[in-house]
Structure 1
Amino acid sequence: MALGHCNVVLVFMIFESSRAAVSLMRGTSWTLDSGTRAAANCSSRRCQSCHVTWKKDGDPTFHLANETLFLNPVRKTDRGNYTCTVEDSKGGQWNNGTLEILVNYPTENISLSVNTPPYSKSHYKTREGANVSLSCSVDGFPPPLVKWHKDGGAVKTVNLTQKYGLHQHPGKSFLTSYDVTDAGCEDEGTYVCQAGNGVMDTAPIEKYIMLEVECAPKVQDAARQTRTWSVQRGGTVLVSFTVLSNPLSSVIAWWRTGEDTSREILNEGDADHSLNETALGGNARYIAISHYNVTETGLYGVTLANGHEPNLTVTYTIRVDKTVLTNQSETGSEVEDCAGAVCMYKSYIVGGCVALAAGVIAVVVIIAVKCYRRTDRAGDPVQDHSLFRVLDDIFPPMSPPVAGNRIYWNYPCNSINSSIPRETHV
């Protein structure tokens, strides 16, 4: 119960019977806020010669021969069990009663350490596979709410009120722990123990410890890593992944096995491939691999090492899309192969084909014009225009005119157009 700046009287009522029980009007537990004033009174109405004493459990130095227990101001050290004893002048004890005083005060005295040797309170280094227990102790009442964080993200929440109940801690502070089992690269980071109980609107307090894990390289979120990449012929592929290791790892091998060839890329140098390593902080390193002008399907591999076994080998496949390869091979290969004398010969061939096609078309047109020259209905030939005379000079009739027929047909036209009706004059 929170109190203001006023005296609160707690009365122990004693009955006439020598064996009468002592009862507390306000119960056996009393909650006060630190910094306030309070008083508890223990008196006897029937026994004028009786005197009252107060004692505090666990504190042999505390002895108060007074009916009223004054707490001004209330301190966190005032918490505990107080016993009021009523005795007569002859030393006969009538009875006693016990009052538990609880004191609310803000969270304080937080500490975070490792319970595994070598002990540390700020930085701890361990090997991969070890078990580590982080212990957080904190003072305050009511028992605070504790939140564990790793690198800014919440990993565990502990309600110490549920664990200990609404009672003062049995020792100097409340305890909670966070256990790391079979430590790996992913467990390295900064761990924070944050605790608060909201008394007097105070903000939570916290402590942190850096956990360092020596470990061999491994891919972060390996299950989500893409292993096969598809690309169009001549396209670009960017392969990236994050590697965790301590100490930081480095690339010691980079190779490729293709459909026709196998080669080491790292030491040979190649304008069609590039590899970049970027430190992300902590034990993380970002690997970015670029492949340019990809024309062949192949299996690639990258090996990283940091002195701890085993080394890490990441393999991935780049697959050239076959459908795109067929379409592009008809155009792309011609552009790539057209150089020097080859291009000149191709030009000659294409030009000759065009000229031959034009000649064939011209001959067909001339034959068609000659075949459709015919006489009029009176039997007199149509007067030749100059164009037809020129054509007759260049392409003379292949056979003489047929006797008795006024229509002037060449033999080839006569054989081709035999189905055309003719006028015959006798």
Structure 2
Amino acid sequence: MSTDIKAPTFPESVQDGTVATWHKQPGEACSRDELIVDIETDKVVLEVVAPADGTLSEIIKGEGDTVLSNEVIAKFEEGAAGSAKSDSKPAADEGKAEDKSAETKSEDSGESSDKLLSPAARKMADENNIDPASVAGTGKDGRVTKEDVLNHLKSSESKPADKPAQSSSQAAAAPAPMAAGERVEKRVPMTRLRKRIAERLLEATSTTAMLTTFNEVNMGPVMELRKQYKDQFEKVHNGTRLGFMGFFVKAATEALKRFPAVNASLDGDDVVYHGYQDIGVAVSTDKGLVVPVLRNSEKMSIAEVESTIRDFGLRARDGKLSIDEMTGGTFTITNGGVFGSLLSTPILNLPQTAILGMHKIQERPMAVNGKVEIQPMMYLALSYDHRLIDGKEAVQFLVAIKELLEDPARILLEI
């Protein structure tokens, strides 16, 4: 029976998508719920799976084609693969049938290893010349994730006995060395997600009166509190680790309550003041920057903030975040410090009017009560839309965050 394979239903905020990668070609057998194609939208990569056991019979939309919500992109024959395998063979051809069966099994084993790879894992396996069949999968239904490939790489590096065979196979697959003085260029199309990010960044810089104000915070009190309670915190909250983002989110939430303009957004000539705090947390992935949102952060505990952010990070790297989770937000926090950034000017995440930039914690000599002491300091940057937020409000908002972090008891007491 022939079945139409359709693009997923896109939410209202997404107009269309692009066919990113076909993981199956016409004539290839597919198992139920096996990944067939990736559809890339402005915000996430959506996976389309096989509706049943069968064969992909026809591809209507090729890689790079634009597709609309629920548009037919391929034809699928249900049960075609199963019926082909059950064909009986004459007794005279029994030996050949067994040979073909063995070949089919070996091909199926190769296909099963391929079908169980997530897109990120497949890319990493190809880049490192790793046979997917040699990687143990820990994902759903035995799917190999990016973390599984990373663990496989680490275990391979830790086995000296395996290095000669591994290096010889890699040497055989390695491309010929470039000639001296050769200048190589590679041209690849920009992904849809990267193009959308570029459009939004250009829009933010060209349509807003963006300004950045800076301050610095002594992270000593937070670091001391974290050192004192991190083990007990992790034990009480079922393995959730106590990091710095929980303190920053709670400090920002309290500061947003005090300065509603920083939590507002512009809609044409209207100012929309939000009576809630939905804080977006920027997460870096291989495909680009995404900003999942912590809904009603004013009602969340530090433990809930930390566990939710960790979940966002893991699912963002596997492309599992939903569009709804990245829609909205009244304020954004981005942490360039995890990559070693000492100072930066973050760009607004429209239609929001402010974004907080965290940076690397650096020990510096500071004057404390007339004496020079070494303190763990962090630069904070607040970019804001000067059309709505005055410099006075922006500076006071940033000072409020600084004071809350330098005396964490204020966060609990909301003072």
Greater RCO between the two (CA within 8 Å, min separation 6)? 2
TM-score by length of 2: 0.19
Larger radius of gyration: 1
Greater percentage in strand: 1
